[in-house]
Structure 1
């Protein structure tokens, strides 16, 4: 999978570009990037930080990615989560914009989160997972919930319940650059769920160490 952040260009002509906020300028547009990616037959994951870029990006995807064999993930934080200070995308507006994508496309949906070293950080609360499940219940697409690895030790019961609500649901575990990740915190999840229900978006060194704890190729 090739991952990229998408924003709208900050000047005319307005169009989706490859950039990470707060940048609003780039030397490559989403259209140009998609043309290149098609040459390599790779799956793609697009991470949206603002609603403005979502609909025009969906139009481009529908025009350019006509092969159902191409894995496509669409990522956005649509709810406020533990320690989250950033403003999430409005859930219904985002889901309305992406609903026309092919049903093989995976919606990677998450919560805005924060993490602070040296304190007991709260995990994903029951209210957070219940609201997310209510939003996703009637979707036709597969859904993977993007969850922060450093918050998983406090969230096993809540996330177990969440995955039990639909066979369409999976978890994608990610980590922040400054996070302290204790790999032992992930082991209960590896024991609880089939390997097909959890993906790991971790640095290579941590993925290697994690894979050594148990034979697991789904990393």
Structure 2
């Protein structure tokens, strides 16, 4: 997924089941009754920040993000900010010394390497989300994460777009190869598995299809880690039935709502999801003004 600034749970209370009525097929193309239960919360991201008195309650919309932290200056700002999670893109430098660096394509170089980036972040209590844009960067990056993986509590999210999604034009990272590298990560690591997507203003942009969510669930069902599915905010209204079904399939699953820099969507599209899903199971990687509006809803 591309964050909105790219240039480029918790406790073990069982939440009540929320039953979403059958949705007519003329709205979503396939009618299914969906019941959503939070169940046992495998993803301990919220618990980590609550234990440090940085969050209260279990509403994941409270989580604050720093996006595209791909330079020394951006990292310094993120580390001094109130953000809980720091997101950055990882690629391999295309010239010597060949090593993982923080950059978003089409950039091919950076003023900070992943090793340097991690050394600074590890001195704080921030959570980490690494977005891999290429498969070749994954293995050498995981080798650099050994010290971090020894911290069982700190949130570590590993993201890649592994399937083609609505209007996706970029080639996804090879799913089988990616999973072969990350499937043995500790059970508390959050795997963030997304679709490549596109969005064009003034057109009828398609949502996530049944084939797309079925393929993603099939590939995710046997993983031991919690899985979050990054979903584009501007595509949520036309994908409610499909994403409801996906989230229902396992209590290891959450959604992470994100937006492109120029995307347009209605706030009520997000409020519909907040109404029908346990609030601990949907993260909002959005500008602060939009998450503030959701908190007041």
TM-score by length of 1: 0.95
Paired residue for 1:131? 215
Residue among 88, 103, 119 paired with 1:35? 119
Q: Distance in 1 between matches of 2:148 and 2:281?
A: 29
Q: Does 1:209 align with 2:290?
A: no
SS in 2 for 1:199: strand
The counterpart of 2:276, out of the listed 181, 184, 192, is 192
In structure 2, what is the equivalent of residue 109 of structure 1? 193
1:89 and 2:207 are equivalent in the alignment: no
The answer to whether the aligner puts 1:159 opposite 2:273 as a matched pair is: no
| Cα distance in 1, alignment partners of residues 173 and 203 from structure 2 | 28
- Two-structure CA RMSD over aligned residues (Å): 0.9
Which ranges in structure 2 are unaligned for 5 or more consecutive residues? 1-84
Encode CA deviations 1:1-26: one digit per residue, 9 max, x unaligned: 11111000111221101111111211
Contact kept in structure 2, 1:74 and 1:106, CA below 8 Å: yes
| Structure 2 residue matching 1:155: 3-state secondary structure | helix
Q: 2:132 aligns with which of 39, 48, 52?
A: 48
Structure 1 residue aligned with 2:234: 150
- 2:183 matched to 1:99? yes
The partner residue of 1:21 within 105, 108, 117 is 105
Distance (whole Å) between structure 2 residues aligned to residue 209 and residue 40 of structure 1? 28
Runs of 4+ aligned structure 1 residues displaced above 6 Å come to none
Identify which range, 84-93 or 65-74, moves more after superposition.
65-74
Alignment TM-score, normalising by the size of structure 2: 0.70
Between structure 1 and structure 2, the one with the greater Rg is 2
Q: How far apart, in 2, do the equivalents of 1:129 and 1:100 lie?
A: 24
Report if the CA contact (8 A) 1:62-1:101 is conserved.
no
TM alignment of 1:69-80, pairs within 5 A: 69-80=153-164
Report how far residue 193 of structure 1 moved.
0.6
Unpaired segments ≥5 residues, structure 1: 214-219
For residues 147 and 64 of structure 1, the distance between their equivalents in structure 2, rounded to whole angstroms, comes to 27
